[in-house]
Amino acid sequence: MVAQHVARDADIASVASLIADPTRAAVLTALLDGRALAAGELARLAGVTPATASAHLSRLLDGGLVTVASQGRHRYYRLTGPEVAEVLEVLARISPRPAVRSLRQSRQARLLEEARTCYDHLAGRAGVRLLAALVDAGYLVGQDAYELTGSGETALSELGVDVAAARASRRRFAPACLDWTERRPHLAGALGAAITQALLERDWYRHGASRRVLEPTELGRKGLAAMFSGKELTCSTPVTQARE
C-alpha cells in the first residue's frame, strides 16, 4: 500500500511531545495559576532535581510554552499566555483523575473543585456559579461567547472591573471555558480575568495556601450575595474560618 501525504496546518506533534513528558506536564500544571515561579520551586513541585528541572524548562522555552524573566540571580518562569493554559485545561478534561491516597490530597482536590484559578480567571464550582448568576441577572448574554449588557457593564464597573481595558485587550473578550471538574462553563477571556482581579483586589477572594486554590472571605460571601440577590455563589466555609 502506497503511503499518502497528510496535509497539516500546524505541527501539533511537537507541542504534544513537550506536554507528554510527566515532569514537563507537572511544571506546566504548577504554572497554571498565571503566576511566575523560580526554577528551584518548579523543581520541588515536580519532584526532580534542579538540574533536571533546568533541562526541561529549556525545552519548554524552546517550544514556546513558557517565558522567563530574570531578577538578580533568579529566573522566574510563567506560561506564555492564556492559549497554553486553555490547552492544558482541555487535556485535563479528557484525562483520568489521579487516585486520592491521603487526607491532604482529598482536601486539596475538594478546594480545587470549589474555587481555583484557570490561568487568571475564576474556575471550579464558584466560577461556574458566577457565570450562571451573571447570565441570570441579565448582565451577560450569549452562549459560547458572551457580551455585556448595559446593566452588566454598570454592575461590573461598580465592582471595580475595568471594562474598557478588557474590551481593548488583544484577548477574546468573554468566551466560555468548559470547566474540567464541573463539566459546565465558567467565564474566561479578558473579562473573566478582569472580574477575578477585582474580586481579589476587593478581598472577596484570596489565594489559598495551595497553588491555584482561591478561597472566599466573609466579606466576599456577603458582597456576592448582595450583588446577586442572595444567591449563594461560594462554599459555606470562608477563608477566615478555613485557616483556623
b/e code 16-51 from CB counts within 10 Å (16+ = b): eebbeeebbbbbbbbbbbbbbbebebbbebbebeee
Q: What pLDDT is stored for residue 181 in this prediction?
A: 87
pLDDT level of residue 11 (50, 70, 90 thresholds) = confident
pLDDT level of residue 208 (50, 70, 90 thresholds) = confident
Q: What pLDDT is stored for residue 236 in this prediction?
A: 52
pLDDT level of residue 123 (50, 70, 90 thresholds) = very high
pLDDT level of residue 242 (50, 70, 90 thresholds) = very low
pTM: 0.80
- What is the spatial distance between Cα 79 and Cα 67, in angstroms, rounded to a whole number? 6
Q: What pLDDT is stored for residue 244 in this prediction?
A: 34
User: Residue 208 in 3-state DSSP?
Assistant: coil
For residue 233, what is its C-alpha cell? 455563589
Q: What pLDDT is stored for residue 180 in this prediction?
A: 85
Q: Residue 148's beta-bridge partner residues? A: 140
Domain with CATH 1.10.10.10 in the chain: 12-80
**Which CATH class for the 12-80 domain?**
mainly alpha
Q: pLDDT tens digits, residue range 56-113?
A: 999 999 999 999 998 888 899 999 988 898 899 888 888 877 776 777 777 877 888 9
152 vs 118, more confident:
152
Average pLDDT of span 216-237: 83
Average pLDDT, the chain: 88
